[in-house]
Each structure stands twice: as structure tokens, then as C-alpha cells.
Structure 1
Amino acid sequence: MNFEDLVKSRHSAVNFIKEEKLTEDDFKKIFDLTKLAPSVYNLQLTNYLVITDEEKKERIFELSYQQYKIHTASAVIIVLGNKNSFEVSEAEKIYGPMKMLKMMDESAYEMTINNIKEYGDSLKANPPELELELVRNAGIHATMLMLSAKHYGFDTCPMHVHNVDQLRKEFNIPDYLQPIMMITIGKSVDKERPRGYRKTVGEFVQFNRY
């Protein structure tokens, strides 16, 4: 399937084949593509909690106002923004191997690490900006996940996260991970569901000025 067909074939699924299961190998293939998504300073701020256990999935179903798509989905993926991504130790994990492999020299390495530290410090001092950065990066990452899933024949639906405090407690999600959204995944019951109206390009794109 070429990229145009892939994008056109991805729809948000509202009901899944309940008997359909995804294996860990299925998820590994999906996430191996997902990890190629861009991120600020290549820090890869997005983490995932994949819920496949039926009892745990039903708990999310209850916390999410019993939305049926959760009940029938093969899994629920909780998309998390990692607030610790701007720590120097995390940046060094990303850029240290690049320096060792001579992909960047010592001067470029030090400048990059310092820039990340300065930006991270500014975000810590301004929590709304930190949240915006987490949401921005998670949104890009999650879009790549949904396209990757469709590439391998699985359908998805992005969802709001409800009752975050209870969700944290239920699944032992640490404070440094911020739940951003959820994605249900499986195989859709309805393969021919028509797509909702999309604005024409002229309605939402302007050139050079507004």
C-alpha cells in the first residue's frame, strides 16, 4: 500500500472485532516504525502503556464512561508524555553514542547538551509550556503509531483520557509521565464506514498572510 492509499484507508474505528488479538510481535513491528517519528531535539518524549489484559482493559472501560470501542478493542494504548526527557542524563543517552560514532564532534555535542538543558530548565519554570511541548510531541508520535498500525492491517481510534488521577493509581503511572491521550486498536467491524466531511483545502489553508 502506498502512502496515499494508507492515509486514505485509515479511519477512526468505533467498534472492533472482539475476538481479534494482537501479539507482542505485532506491537513490536508497529512501534519499530512509530519510533521514527520526529521529536524536539530528538529526545523522544513519548512513552506508551499498552493494556491487553481483559480485566485491566475493562477497568479503563469503566473509567472512560463505558465507551463501547474500549470494550471490543484488542488493546488500549495510553500515550504518555515524559517530563524527564530534558534531563541531561536522558540527552546524553541519545547523543553520547552519536559522539562516540563520530556523527558529531565534541563541540557540537557540548553545545547540544547545553541547549537541551537550557530549554528544559525554561520549561520546568513554565509548566503550561512544558505541557504544550509534551502534547505536541505526543500528538506527532501518536499519529505515526496509527499510520503504522494501519500499515500492518490494524485499525485505531484516538481518544480523550478521563479520570487521570484514578488511571494513575490503577496502573501505577509515575508522576513524571503525563497521560496525553488513549488509542484503541484492533480490527474494525465496519470496513466500509464512510468518512465524515472534510473541509476543502481552501477552507483551512492560507498562503503568506491571514
Structure 2
Amino acid sequence: MNFKELVQARHSAVNFVKKEKLTAEEINNIFELTKLAPSAYNLQFTDYLVITDEEKKERIRELSYNQYKIHTASAVIIVMGNKNSIEMSEVEKIYQPMKMLKMMDDIEYDMTINQIKDFSENLKADPHKLETELVRNTGLQAMLLMLSAKENGFDTCPMHIHNVEQLREEFHIPNHLLPIMMITIGKSVDKTRPRGYRKPVGEFVHVNGFGE
């Protein structure tokens, strides 16, 4: 399907085919597209925890007010912002190969690294700014993940994360990873569920300012 058809076909699924499995190859195919999402300075702030094990999935369900879609989903994906993405050691892992491959010259490399260093120090000085940056960047990846899943034949539903500290303890999530949202994924049972009401474009798009 073309892009328009893909966007129109993606719905938030409320129930999934219970015994549909998500293979390692399918997971890889979905994330090969997902990783192409933009991020600030290409720092790739997003990490994922993919839960396919039935017992572990049921534990997430218990921590999420027993929502049934978690029970039937092929997997639950925890979307996390990686605070370490702004550490200069991580930045250099991304930019040093680009310099070696002559994708950027020494001047451009030094200028970019200095810009990122200032950006990093600014975020470290204000935890709220850092969290906002993580949410902004993970949101971009999460949307592309759902479109990539649809392209690969799977349906999704974005969800809040509840009981974050218990989730951390249960799955040994390190402190530098901030759980932001989760996405259930599988094959939707209901293929014809109508889309909810959407506002007309003119109600939420303002060109060149707001009317007096």
C-alpha cells in the first residue's frame, strides 16, 4: 500500500488474535524501519523492551489495570527514553564513523561535536528539559514504529504506562532509561472498527498566525 493507504489503514486495535506470534525476524523488520526516524542531532534517544513471553506479558497486564488487549497481544513494547544518549562517549560512537567515512570533514565534525556538547550540558542542567527532549524524540520513533508495524502486517495500540517503579523492578530496567509509553502489537480481531471523530483541519491548523 502507498503512504496514504498506510496511514488510513492504521487504527488503534482494542483486541488481538490471541495465539498470533511475533517472530524475531518480524521484530527486526519492524525496527529496521523504525530506526530511520529523525532525532535531535541524530542522537537516537529511544530504547525498547519487547515482551513476547506470555507470563511476563501477563505481569505487565497486572501492572496495567488488567487491560485485556495486553492479554491477547502478540507482544508489548515498552518505549523508553535513553538519558545516556547525550553523553559525549555515546555521541562520538555516532559521529566518529561519519568522520572516518568522509561523510563530514574535520571542521564540520568539530563544530557539530561542540554544538552537541552545549546541547547536552543544557539538558543536564535541567532535568525537566531532558525529560521533555526524551518525550519529544521517543514520540517521533513511536509513531514510525506503529506505521512500520502496519506495513509489516501488524496492528498496534499506544498506551500509558502505569506503576513505573514496579515495572522497573520487575524487568530490571536501568535508571538511565525512562519508560514513556507502551505499545501493544498483534493482529487485530476487529478489521472494520470505525475511526473516531477527527476535527476538521481548519479547526486546528493555523497558517501565518491566529485570527483576531
Give the alignment's TM-score, normalised by structure 1: 0.99
CA–CA distance in structure 2, aligned partners of residues 136 and 125 of structure 1: 18
Q: Which residues in structure 2 correspond to 1:127-142 (within 5 Å)?
A: 127-142=127-142
The C-alpha deviation readout for 1:158-201, integer Å capped at 9, x for no partner, is: 00010000000000000000000000000000000000000110
CA–CA distance in structure 1, aligned partners of residues 15 and 110 of structure 2: 50
Q: Which residues in structure 2 correspond to 1:151-162 (within 5 Å)?
A: 151-162=151-162
Q: Which residues in structure 2 correspond to 1:25-174 (within 5 Å)?
A: 25-174=25-174
Aligned to 2:207: 207
SS of residue in 2 equivalent to 1:196: coil
| Cα offset, 1:207, TM superposition | 0.6
Aligned to 2:176: 176
Report the count of equivalent residues.
210
Q: Amino acid of the residue matched to residue 66 of structure 1?
A: N
Misfit runs of 4+, over 2 Å: none
RMSD between superposed Cα atoms in Å: 0.5
- Kindly, what percent of the aligned residue pairs are identical? 73
CA–CA distance in structure 2, aligned partners of residues 125 and 98 of structure 1: 28
SS of residue in 2 equivalent to 1:134: helix
SS of residue in 1 equivalent to 2:162: coil
CA–CA distance in structure 1, aligned partners of residues 84 and 111 of structure 2: 20
| Cα offset, 1:37, TM superposition | 0.3
CA–CA distance in structure 2, aligned partners of residues 176 and 99 of structure 1: 28
CA–CA distance in structure 2, aligned partners of residues 45 and 94 of structure 1: 12
| Cα offset, 1:86, TM superposition | 0.7
SS of residue in 2 equivalent to 1:13: coil
SS of residue in 2 equivalent to 1:137: helix
Q: Amino acid of the residue matched to residue 98 of structure 1?
A: M
The C-alpha deviation readout for 1:63-92, integer Å capped at 9, x for no partner, is: 000011101100000000000101111111
**Tell me, which stretches of 5 or more residues in structure 1 are unaligned?**
none
Aligned to 1:7: 7
